[in-house]
Structure 1
């Protein structure tokens, strides 16, 4: 099992790495070359850099991820592509994408995009809080424990 992180702008990278390290699980962060970093990371962390492009990281994740892995992403579309592969997918707010909720989330995203295209406004995401981080930690640990 590996944990993949859709790395562009994820507020839970460090949290995920910390938890994965405590379980000796490899972490793969897939991100745009624009986010290249010289920061030192633990040995269990590797980076896959992709070219600039709207979905370049998503396509690379779909290519690399395998059944039994965990993906951390806020991207509903990416979640919908990897769920059929037997991947557990976790949002940074601590909820899991499943076959039971993904269609509704994609539909909601579609209608919001439609409103914006017609000149309307939709609410943006709320600010990420410590409570959100705590919920994410709890859910990630539960997912890992279920897979042991």
Structure 2
């Protein structure tokens, strides 16, 4: 099987992911197999295209499970910058819940910013978190996911069996 005859697959880093229901809808519409990965039991729709994966509670178990499977033709949904870096390095398309794609060109800056903010928080200089998730973010995410799937289809990647 050549690389581009592989099926498109979506991996969702599901802990605290605000766009799971949007992923389910897009998965069904495009007939794309989706793995919802978490270290706790989550409800997912009953569908042959959507599979729940419960990993151990050990640190980074969900990230490791996703990163081990990331490849060209896979789409990873995560807000976790180190996981995004691992998946981009493996050739996967990576999209944050706000629709921001992580690419080879942007992941270095995203990692540097994350590390800086982590250091500032550790020193007590930054106490605020991310801005609230908005309908605009949800819309941007849906658009980015649709674009990624269509780009992979054009590149020759297939869809999951019905």
TM-score range, shorter chain: over 0.9
Misfit runs of 4+, over 4 Å = none
- Counterpart residue number, 1:115: 120
Whole-angstrom CA distance in 1 between matches of 2:33 and 2:87:
18
| Secondary structure of 1:101 counterpart | helix
**Long gaps (5+) in structure 2:** 1-7, 154-162
Distance 1:38 1:90 in 2: 22
| Matched length | 146
TM-score (norm. length: structure 1): 0.93
Give matches, 1:1-148, under 5 Å: 1-33=8-40, 36-37=41-42, 40-148=45-153
C-alpha RMSD of the superposition: 1.3
Return the alpha-carbon distance in structure 2 between the equivalents of residues 40 and 104 of structure 1.
36
Larger RCO, structures 1/2 (Cα 8 Å, 6+ apart): 2
Name structure 1 gaps, 5 residues minimum.
none
CA deviation after TM superposition for structure 1 residue 123, in Å: 2.9
